[in-house]
A and B are shown apart, each in its own frame.
Chain A
C-alpha cells in the first residue's frame, strides 16, 4: 500500500520570504502522480501543483515549485515570496497512474503554514 508522510505538522514564514514543506512517500509503483493541495480556513481543497513521476523536470506554478527526488521518494513544495493568502493547511497526495480510469488519492496528514506579517 502507498503511504504519504509529512513530518512537519506546522511551519511559519515571514511574509515575502521563502518556505519549503517536506513530503516523503512510499510506493512500489514506477508510474504515478504527486500533488500538493491547499486547504484554507474555508476548508475547500485547492490543487496547487502536480508532478508526473515519469517527468524529471520539476513542476512550477508561479510562486510554487517542487523538488521531486524519485529515488529518494521525496516531494517538497517551495513557496517563494510568501503572501498572507498562502496561510493554509498543505497536503501532499499520491495517485497511482492507471490505464483503466482515475484512481484514488492518498494524502499525508498535512502541514499548517502560518504567514507572519
Chain B
C-alpha cells in the first residue's frame, strides 16, 4: 500500500458526460501528479499541483481540469467525454524536495470506461 488513495476504482459513463476523479496523497506530501495510461501504453503526464498551486502541465486536454484543495487532496475533472478518454488514471504524490529520496508514490488508479 503506497498510502495514496484514489476513488472511485472504476467508472463507467457515456460520451458527452462529465466525471470527477479524486486523489488523497500520502500524509505530508505536498505534490500531486496526474497521469493517464491508455491501453497498455506508458503513462502520460497530465498535470502537477504543489501545495494548492498548479506547478506543471503536460499534454492535458482543455476538456480536462484539476485542482488541489487546502487539505491537499486533488480532483481531476474530465468533461465532454469521448471514447478515446477511456484509460487508467493514476495519481501520484511526493514530498517537498526534488532529491533522490523523494519518490513519486502511485495510487491504485481509476479505470475510466467511456461507452
List chain A positions with a Cβ less than 8 A from chain B. 4, 33, 42-45, 47, 50, 52, 89, 91, 97-110, 112
Do A110 and B40 touch across chains, with their CB atoms under 8 A apart? yes
In the assembled complex, the Cα of A45 lies from the Cα of B88 at a distance in Å of: 12
Check if B97 sits within 8 Å of A102, measured CB to CB. yes
Interface residues of B (CB under 8 A from A): 2, 31, 33, 35, 40-45, 48, 50, 55-56, 58, 88, 90, 92, 94-98, 100, 102-104, 106, 108-109, 111
Q: Which of B41, B98, B104 contacts A105 (CB 8 A)?
A: B104
A102 contacts B31, C-beta separation under 8 Å:
yes
Q: Is the interface of A mostly helix, strand, loop or mixed?
A: loop
With a CB–CB cut-off of 8 A, which chain A residues contact B45?
A: 104-106
The 6 closest A-B pairs by CB, nearest first: A107-B42, A45-B106, A98-B98, A104-B45, A102-B94, A109-B42
- Whether the Cβ atoms of A43 and B56 lie closer than 8 Å is no
Closest residue of chain B to A45, judged by CB?
Answer: B106
> What are the residues of chain B within 8 A of A100 when measuring CB–CB?
98
Chain B contacts for A4, CB-based, 8 A: 42
Is A97 a contact partner of B41 (Cβ separation < 8 A)? no
Complex CA distance for A75 and B55, rounded to whole angstroms: 28
Whether A104 and B42, one on each chain, are in contact in the complex, defined by CB atoms closer than 8 angstroms, is no
Decide if B43 touches A107 in the complex (CB within 8 Å): yes
In contact, A50 and B100 (Cβ under 8 angstroms): yes
In addition to A89-B40, A101-B31, 16 A-B residue pairs with Cβ atoms within 8 Å of each other are A42-B108, A43-B88, A45-B92, A50-B100, A97-B98, A101-B50, A102-B104, A103-B56, A104-B33, A104-B45, A105-B33, A105-B43, A105-B45, A105-B92, A109-B41, A112-B40
The docked-state distance in angstroms from the alpha carbon of A109 to that of B37 is: 10
Which residues of B are found within 8 Å of A107, using beta-carbon distances? Answer: 42-44
